[in-house]
A and B are shown apart, each in its own frame.
Chain A
Amino acid sequence: MVPIRNIKREKSRYAIDLVINGDPYSLAVKANALLLDVLREQLNFTGTKKGCELGDCGACTVLLNGKPVNSCLVLAVEADGQHVTTIEGLEKNGKLDALQEAFINNGAIQCGFCTSGMILSAKALLTSNPQPTEQDVRKAISGNLCRCTGYVNIVKAVLSAAEQEERTSHE
């Protein structure tokens, strides 16, 4: 649980500051507003998907200070002062993240609804464990459901992105 810091209360709204994909945002949110809804409805980061609102499917996964969370289970006020990474934040200077490339090239995307959350869970894994085993990958994405792929090509994509990153770092 993230400690909620002193927040100024204004007419049932709370002023919060978020750093989303490296950019600062100051906004007022309701006490019960979910991080998911604030991202999607207030800030238009619609790449974060709403699949179940119960923390079961993982489609709404974002990174909070680098750790994957179901944004449907996080209150926006809890995220105050913290760093949020959404799928929109992975592309850097017009260049896709190695995971995004790998998902495209390994046929790991079908309907695409799980893709954002899946990539972000994988991103957190590769950040902490750059050379994961197949089992590591399966464990890291086990909170992200995919109804289309049977996870086969997703697992392949994550392993291939890890390999790619490894090669790049040796160059």
Chain B
Amino acid sequence: MNKGDYAVIGKSVPKIDARLKATGQALYVADLKFPNMLFGKVLRSPHAHARILRIDTSEAEMLPGVKAVITHKDVPAKKYGISPARYDENIFCIEKARHVGDKVAAVAAIDEQTAYRALKLIRVDYEVLPAVFDPIEALAPGAPLVQEDYPGNINVEVHQSFGNVEEALQRAYYVRKDTFVGHRTYHSPLEPHGSIATWENGKVTLYTSTQKPHYIQYYMAHEFDLPMGNVRVVAPFVGGGFGGKTGPTDLDFSSVVLSHMTDRPVKMLYDRSEMFAYNRGRHRLIMELSTGVDRDGKILGIHANFIMDGGAYTGNGIATAYYSGALLTLTYDFENYKYDMVRVYTNLPGCASQRGHGGCHPRFALESQLDRIAQHLDMDPIEIRLKNLRKPNTVTVNDFRINSCELKSCIETAKKVSKWNNKREGMPSGGHGIGLAVGSYVSGAGYPIYRTNLPHSVALIKVNEDGTSAILYTGAVDIGQGSNTVLCQMAAEAMGYRYENMRIVSADTERATHDFGAYSSRQTLMSGSAVKEAGEMIKAQILQMAGEMMNVDPTKLDCRDAIVFLKDDPSVQKGFGEVAREHFVKKGLLLGRGSYSPPKLGGTFKGSTVGTSPAYSFAAQVVELQIDKETGAIALKNAWDVHDSGMVINPALLEGQVHGGLYMGIGEAIWEEVRFDQNGRILNPNLGEYRLPTALDLPMFHASTVESSDPAGPWGVKEVGEGATVPTEGAVANAVFDALGVQIDSLPLTPEKIWRALKEKERSHGT
């Protein structure tokens, strides 16, 4: 079927919720109010590492308007986390606080002001302990121990070896070894996290700003020994996530407990600095990378030897530890690969998953190194990439099966649209630079986060009595990326229905259906598969009923745009609504069900599941910039992304994802970094000093796609949401390399680093 043959998909229909958002009617957690609602706040440790000797809440409890004060004594002592393999966190600190901002107690009061006042009345006696803030120092003998159960501060070690890297590097014509540093960054969604809990007849309902209602339900049930059916988790409108809203927060747990104790709804919100203290953003990563190539630039082997600063807790970080090495093999074809990783505990806020999870910093290292190798071999950066390119229908050295892959076409298109040749060679070297990097990302994780055989996505469609609307029920979560829109387009296409008549109930563990949620760029492919199946089930019933009504064989009928017609003579028609109504009267409720589980994927080695996916997206990005040699400041001139996303359901939304991906990658490459003082306090826990790019910092971005279709995705779809962030840091770094002739090994590429690199270059040229 050609793209033009579809009635609903492949079209940039307006977002289903755009009007609500444009008029201020969309309700986010902070906008929800319930009768008799209390307001809660969490007390946080001012110390990076401190034993808690005594907590006295009596004065706080006596403050008029305070309804409850809780500490670890009032909650289960059971540890939680994200992956059961590394549950290392308690609702409140029990013996000690492990980072500045670690949670110590919580209050519920009649209003926000009283809650803040109560926090000040809680007396905590701390014994300050020596702390450690650097992963290499944390690995040294005698370093302060962050987590008692993890000797040497080693949170997780990964050692994977494929082929024979030592031998490959030995026979290589050129081996390059560099150490790169990726920095700690933070998602900074515009909407702060928030939770509201309310209990009724032994069942708790938790409204929370999350990407993953199912998992939050699972963690709450686990922590409080409740059946899953007694926990309802709802994500209302979510103001951005980017991987930061994938785990339970102290607000989720505290509001559930405080609401239970007071028998009143309890609302709790992070302020901006608390968000930085919760963090769970991108890890600081020290990346030693050794790559050997033959005389023609063909990669013979790569050894990635990484150390990660995990902060005080694991969260999703165990997945990051594996992803950071696993995803490096996707874009290039090589036979020998070794990956060693230590994720280390420090007394800083925990790090976890951020857009392009595990892909961005390692990709910065590899793409930077390839440009250095290309320079050594006197090759164009594009040439060395084409030489090593991933091809469709291949298997990576670490056992990931690649179906569709149009990376070649992405690179060639990027080369053309960016006028690469002219700019690379033709421009004077007065600070102008252009750089390219490629990337790839999973279209949904092949395995869930905890071991379960539940399907990954389930969908239900209910057509109303007269067929004038249909409701799609899905557990997928629209965090702004537009999944509600795309899934309704898919449902309408599969049903032979109209997008305008679709309604959606999503992100609610009770009122919608099961789905693992918005992470690992999974929903278009996985939730979409379930939706397509549900839509097709509706269509089959409509055709059957219409056949009976029209007295023809249903196989001779089709349905499109809410019109049933005879395939041989499309002028013979019946309205979808009329047929649906007849079905309702004669046969009952018109329902469609769909379910999706990925096939068994991946190898058999330890950690082989992380990085598996039914399909992988590919992208090439080019960044053009101008460096002010006096100040070292970068001015972005242009950024292009050419994506292989498979079949595109909504081109405008895809472009939006690409713009956002480039935005985050560029921000991280140049400006963004979470910084700490020598006591582990965050120096810039606000949006003034944690420097997000503004509209004045950026040029227009150019997003385009190449023709592609993947057999694993419904209608051939693949991901775009995270893949567009993966190459960006590398592309910016390579443009800086082109501009300066020297490369900078650590991110972000600040004016100071650039200025120093230029001075260093001048000095070495002068002598």
Contacts and interface: CB of A to CB of B under 8 A. Distances in A.
Interface of A: 40, 45-57, 59, 86-88, 90-91, 96, 100, 103-105, 107, 109-116, 119, 137-139, 141-155
B701 interface: yes
Contact of A146 (B22, B190, B652, B686): B190
Contacts of A144: 695
Interface in B648-675: 652-653, 655-656, 659-660, 662-664
Contacts of A45: 24
B27 A111 contact: no
A112 B238 CA distance: 8
B480 interface: yes
Given A47-B24, A50-B30, A51-B272, 12 more contacts: A52-B272, A52-B687, A54-B687, A96-B19, A104-B18, A105-B14, A109-B22, A141-B695, A142-B695, A145-B190, A150-B662, A151-B694
A136 B663 CA distance: 20
A145 B690 CA distance: 12
B457 interface: no
B659 A52 contact: no
Contact of A152 (B26, B30, B694, B700): B700
B189 interface: yes
B692 A111 contact: no
A50 B30 CA distance: 8
Contact of B22 (A53, A103, A151): A103
Q: Taking chain B's interface residues, is the majority helix, strand, or loop, or is none over half, making it mixed?
A: loop
A150 B701 contact: yes
Contacts of B687: 51-52, 54, 56-57, 145
Contacts of A57: 190, 272, 687
Contacts of B21: 109, 112, 115
Contacts of A104: 14-15, 18-19, 22
Contact of A155 (B31, B271, B481, B700): B700
B242 A147 contact: yes
Contacts of B101: none
Nearest to B662: A150
B398 to A, nearest CB: 32
Nearest to A144: B695
B664 A56 contact: no
A119 B22 contact: yes
21 contacts: A47-B25, A50-B30, A51-B191, A51-B272, A54-B688, A56-B688, A86-B24, A107-B655, A109-B21, A111-B240, A115-B22, A116-B24, A119-B22, A137-B695, A141-B695, A142-B695, A145-B694, A147-B188, A147-B190, A150-B698, A155-B695
A96 B22 contact: yes
Nearest to A113: B239
Interface in B481-536: 481-482
Contacts of B700: 152, 155
Contacts of A150: 659-660, 662-663, 698, 701
A54 B272 contact: yes
A88 B463 CA distance: 33
Contacts of A105: 14
Nearest to B666: A150
Contacts of B30: 46, 49-50
B757 to A, nearest CB: 27
B24 to A, nearest CB: 2
A100 B22 contact: yes
A111 B272 contact: no
B723 interface: no
Contacts of B12: 107
A57 B237 CA distance: 19
B571 interface: no
Contacts of B187: 147
Contacts of A112: 17, 20-22, 26, 237, 239, 480
B140 interface: no
A146 B242 CA distance: 13
A111 B663 contact: no
B6 interface: no
Contact of B23 (A53, A100, A111, A143): A100
Contact of A113 (B191, B272, B653): B191
Interface hub of B21, B191, B239, B653 (most chain A Cβ within 10 A) = B21
Nearest to A99: B22
Nearest to B31: A46
B755 interface: no
Given A46-B24, A113-B28, A142-B695, A107 B686 contact: no
B696 interface: yes
Contacts of B656: 107, 110, 148-149, 153
A66 to B, nearest CB: 18
Contacts of B18: 103-104, 109
Q: Rank and list the top 5 A-B pairs by shortest CB-CB distance, nearest first.
A: A47-B24, A111-B480, A112-B21, A113-B239, A150-B663
B730 interface: no
B173 to A, nearest CB: 41
A87 B12 CA distance: 25
B739 interface: no
Contacts of B24: 45-48, 86-88, 115-116
A110 to B, nearest CB: 4
Contact of B660 (A47, A110, A137, A142): A110
Nearest to B19: A104
B192 interface: yes
B351 interface: no
A129 to B, nearest CB: 16
B479 interface: yes
Nearest to A52: B272
Contacts of A40: 31
A142 B694 contact: yes
Interface in B368-400: none
B23 A151 contact: no
A152 B190 contact: no
B660 A54 contact: no
Interface in B9-45: 12, 14-15, 17-28, 30-31
A4 to B, nearest CB: 22
A141 B23 CA distance: 18
A148 B660 CA distance: 5
A132 B18 CA distance: 25
Nearest to B355: A147
Contacts of A116: 24
Interface hub of A110, A139, A144, A146 (most chain B Cβ within 10 A) = A110
Given A147-B188, A149-B663, A150-B662, A56 B698 contact: no
A59 B190 contact: yes
A72 to B, nearest CB: 11
Nearest to B12: A107
A150 B665 CA distance: 10
Contacts of B660: 110, 147-150
A57 to B, nearest CB: 5
A110 B481 contact: yes
B698 A111 contact: no
Contacts of B659: 149-150, 152-153
Interface string B183-198: 0000111111000000
A91 B191 CA distance: 24
Contacts of A155: 695, 700
A49 B687 CA distance: 15
B240 A148 contact: yes
Interface hub of A47, A144, A150 (most chain B Cβ within 10 A) = A150
A145 B662 CA distance: 15
Interface string B599-615: 00000000000000000
